[in-house]
A and B are shown apart, each in its own frame.
Chain A
Amino acid sequence: MSPEPHEAASGYRTLEVRREGPVGWLVFDRPEAGNAMNATMLQELESAWLELDGDPTVAVIVNTGAGRAFQTGLDMVQLSREPEAMREQSRRTKRAELRLTAWHNGVDKPVIAAVNGVCAGGGLHFVADADVVIASSEATFLDPHVSVGQVTAYEAITLVRKSPMEPVVRMALAGHHERMTAARAHQLGILSEVVTPPGRLRERAQELAETIARNSPAAMAATKRALWGALETGLSEACRAGGRELIGMWGHPDQEEGPLAFAEKRPARWQGSSTDHAAPADGAGTAATGGATGGL
């Protein structure tokens, strides 16, 4: 089963944005160009992330690609033929103001990257900046920047923070002469699941997203802030900041509803979506957390 669109794509030319139950899908949709990012896609990405993050019916977002490639970075053809069209992008790159990924756009909701094929160069942004990454057994990873005289920076910097460094530096220096397999990326912890047969990737991504969608949106948003924030500072400072996120949820209705639902063996009715509750609760009130598990 491959998820069918429940709504028509709303005016995107290079992306397909749709809903499937509690899951919002953001699909790169330039299969004829390896899903490379042209100026239009660069603009549409920002709108699409914000649209899905702001949609109260969406709890989890899945990002994948149409056709054989996942994402192959900046559209080199457009870059060489119409440098004007890419000018705004160059400006943003220079100022480190990219708006390509969920992380760039401050998305509160859990984001799963489902890598369906080759992921090259700037495509690695979407692997580095996702919360959870899964891939089809046919997916491959490479970074051709230095093979065409370009520098690798942002995407590899984030990967270096999140996974063993040597393979990331090797990928950056080997350029287009070598590819990493999905199996190796799994061993290294760059991704957590290899889906086989590859045709089952979307189905599996939908399943995983629905599983994650059973958890408290407000707790997940605060968890994301705590964990991504921890990549910014030293350990003790990160723990202190994380402690503030912990306490920020105390007194939130989800903290009574969670254990109650567990005890009553029914799905939890979480309050709203993460975007409705982006601000931490004030912590007043009780924080009773019963439940049949041993602890937390």
Chain B
Amino acid sequence: MAFSEYEHLKLVRRGPVGWLLNNRPDRLNAMNADMRDEFAVAWRELDADPEVRVIVHTGEGKAFQTGVDVAEIASDGVGMERYRQSVEDFDLHFTAWHQQVEKPVITAVNGICAGGGLHWVADADVVIAASDAQFMDPHVSVGQVVAIEAIGLLRKMPVEAVMRMALVGRYERMSAQRALELGMISQVVDPPERLRDAAQELAEMIARNSPAAMAATKRALWGALETGLTDACRAGARELVGMWGHPDQEEGPRAFAEKRPPRWQAPGGAGAR
């Protein structure tokens, strides 16, 4: 199965890993309207590809992602208004979470991640970063509000750090090391050039687990961010029970006993909502 053609993204398959690369390095991978539309298609395409078990998202060039392309906003006469309807309806489609991707998604932050770039940190399942990666949120320094990406982050990590980044704006950057301490990311890769190898290794490791069990686990854990604790446990229990009787639950222990890799049922379908 070949991927579609993209202008601002690159899709690559390496073994069980589908790679999504931000590919506007000359614009620090800032997102213009076309790139935004391509994201919507790319996530769906990778999620539907039966050969892809885990998705890695990273950037080409020196930056990971720097949010909305202000040059386009400032020059085309449409400005932020292009986003009004989608923001009003919270009908966004540029992250894996927006697109309800069932497969595990690893964000590999390869350099600066600024402002709207934090969407892909907030909305990934697993985040790793190169040792020279940096995080910042310049919105309030140019009169813009910080909301959705920081809201996602503050559900997942200590709030004070998110609030500080939002209010200090462009005058301070968080290092990859501090992001690791805070649990915003789980691994710092040094030297930074090894980031893609490390991401591929991690993705292949995750790809050894049951796709159906991971999809249900994702639903249970992300769903828990929506409700109070007891409701989340109830909904989680339904995911738990939903897997009972699934072939992977016989195959897993058998493969373990026979000391061979398990043959999981192909993803896309079994765990579908």
Docked-complex contact A163 and B171, CB < 8 angstroms: no
Determine the chain A residues whose CB is within 8 A of the CB of B75 once the complex forms.
Answer: 290
A16-31 Cβ-contact flags toward B at 8 Å (1 or 0): 0000000000000000
The answer to whether A262 and B164 have CB atoms under 8 Å apart is: no
In the bound complex, CA of A192 to CA of B178 (Å)? 10
Q: Which among B50-58, B60-68, B242-250 touches the partner chain? A: B60-68
B115 & A234 in contact (Cβ 8 Å cutoff): no
Expressed in whole angstroms, the Cα–Cα distance for A248 and B117 within the complex equals 21
Give chain A nearest CB distance to B17 CB in angstroms.
27
Query: A233-272: contact bitstring with B at CB < 8 Å (1 yes, 0 no)?
Result: 0111111101111111110111111110010000010100
Report the Cα distance A145→B179, complex, angstroms: 33
Q: Is the CB of A287 within 8 A of B154?
A: no
Instruction: Assess the B84–A247 pair: CB atoms within 8 A.
Output: yes
B70 contacts across to A, CB distance below 8 A: 259, 289-291, 293-296
Query: A163–B158 contact, CB under 8 A?
Result: yes
Does B29 make an interface contact (CB < 8 A)?
yes
Q: Assuming A110-B167, A291-B74, is B143 touching A246 (CB within 8 A)?
A: no
In contact, A215 and B90 (Cβ under 8 angstroms): no
Is A279 part of the binding interface, using a Cβ–Cβ cutoff of 8 Å? no
User: What sequence of 0s and 1s flags, for each residue 40-71 of chain A, a beta carbon within 8 Å of any chain B beta carbon?
Assistant: 00000000000000000000000000000000
> Which of A211, A244, A270, A283 is the one whose CB lies under 8 Å from B143?
A270
When each residue 195-232 of chain A gets 1 if its CB lies under 8 Å from chain B and 0 otherwise, what string results?
Answer: 00000000000001001101110111011101100110
- Indicate if the CB atoms of B87 and A246 lie closer than 8 Å: yes
> Which residues of A have CB within 8 Å of B147?
222-223, 226-227, 239, 242-243, 245-246
A191 nearest CB neighbor, chain B only = B160
Give the interface residue-count category, chain A: 35 or more
**Beta-carbon contact of A230 and B164 below 8 Å:** no
Bound-complex Cα distance A289 to B145 (A): 13
* Contact call A190/B158, Cβ cutoff below 8 A: yes
Q: If the complex has contacts A287-B80, A291-B74, are A246 and B225 also in contact, measured as CB distance less than 8 A?
A: no
- Closest-CB distance, A259 to chain B (whole angstroms): 5
Least distance between A124 CB and chain B CB atoms (Å): 13
> In the complex the two chains form, is B151's CB within 8 Å of A226's CB?
yes
Task: Name the CB-closest residue of B to A253.
Answer: B143
Query: Is B141 engaged at the interface, CB distance under 8 Å to the other chain?
Result: yes
**A187 vs B177: C-alpha distance in the bound complex, in angstroms?**
11
Shortest CB-to-CB span from B66 to chain A, Å, is 4
Known: A211-B168, A219-B139, A220-B167. A249 touches B144 (CB 8 A): yes
Is A219 touching B116 in the complex (CB atoms < 8 A)?
no
- Which residue of A110, A219, A230, A270 contacts B154 across the interface (Cβ within 8 Å)? A230
Tell me which of A189, A216, A293 contacts B161 (CB under 8 A).
Answer: A189
- Distance A235 CA – B232 CA, assembled complex (angstroms): 12
Please state if A133 and B226 are interface contacts (CB–CB under 8 Å).
Answer: no
Q: Which residues of A contact B163 (CB under 8 A)?
A: 131-132, 227
With A216-B140, A218-B143, A223-B145 known as contacts, the answer to whether A243 contacts B73 (CB < 8 A) is no
Q: Measured between alpha carbons, how far is A287 from B75 in the docked complex, in Å? A: 11
Most buried by B among A163, A224, A252, A295: A295
0 or 1 for each of B150-170: is its CB under 8 Å from A? (1 = yes): 111011011111111011111
Given contact pairs A131-B164, A252-B143, A293-B170, a sample of 11 additional A-B residue pairs in the complex whose CB atoms are under 8 Å apart? A162-B154, A215-B168, A227-B162, A235-B151, A240-B90, A258-B142, A270-B143, A288-B74, A295-B27, A295-B66, A296-B139
12 contacts between A and B (CB under 8 A): A110-B167, A162-B158, A211-B168, A222-B147, A223-B147, A227-B163, A239-B90, A239-B152, A250-B84, A255-B142, A295-B117, A296-B70
Which residues of B line the A interface, CB within 8 A? 27-31, 63, 65-71, 73-75, 79-81, 84, 87-88, 90, 114-117, 138-148, 150-152, 154-155, 157-164, 166-172, 181-183, 222, 225-227
Query: Ordered nearest first, which 10 A-B pairs have the shortest CB separation?
Result: A189-B158, A295-B30, A294-B28, A242-B147, A254-B143, A258-B142, A290-B74, A234-B226, A258-B143, A294-B66
